[in-house]
Amino acid sequence: MGMSSQMMAPKRDMLCHFLAALAYRSQKALRGAPAEFGDFSAGKKTRTPKELLRHMSSVIGYARTFLIGGSYKAEPLETIADEIIRFHSLLEDVARHLGNGSPLAGIGEEQLLQGPLSDAMTHAGQLALLRRLAGAPVAPENFVFAAIRQDHLGPDQPAPVAPDAIWPESL
């Protein structure tokens, strides 16, 4: 990310940690999903997981425009694997710009958090819900103890540190 975490402004440091939590939670919802999960449909006018990931990329790409200018629209990619790679690449790029001190244009850190970053986290929860609806629920865990690191924003996220031993959906 450029600057060390100790040199980064506290608000930006927290935003980068939020991006890392978003990477972790997104992958938690996607890891071990059935091969057909990307095209799962929960019903009319709902996004498939692949479409939801594309939207999450658009949201993070929009967040990035406040750091680099321009506009962003995520064009459809062929596979969910491609969508996952793009999404994590965008997370890494936003974190890099935040860490390098790129100025925010027209908004503050709080607005970045309350707008696009929170929106993307909401969609990570929707991915987990879609897993449940697809018949492949995600095991719960205590996220307080998750191995979330700001320098680890890619799709290869660590396994849960404190998974729930017993959960009703697993029965």
Q: Which residues of 82-105 are buried (b: 16+ CB within 10 A; e: fewer)?
A: ebbbbbbebbbbbbbbbbeebebe
| Long-range contacts from 160-164, C-beta under 8 angstroms, 24+ separation | 160/28, 163/139, 164/139, 164/140
Q: Is residue 4 part of a domain?
A: no
Q: So what's the pLDDT on residue 165?
A: 85
Q: Is residue 1 part of a domain?
A: no
Strand partners, 141: 163
Q: Is residue 36 part of a domain?
A: yes
Domain carrying residue 132: 10-170
Give the pLDDT confidence of 107-159 residue by residue, as tens digits: 999 999 999 999 999 999 999 999 999 999 999 999 999 999 999 999 999 99
Q: Does residue 7 have a pLDDT over 90? A: no
Q: Is the dihedral of CA 78, 63, 154, 22 positive or negative?
A: negative
Backbone angles phi, psi at 141, to 5 degrees: -155, 165
CATH number of residue 106's parent domain: 1.20.120
Whole-structure pTM value: 0.93
Q: Is residue 2 part of a domain?
A: no
**For the chain, what is the domain count?**
1
Read off the pLDDT band of 8 (50, 70, 90). Answer: low
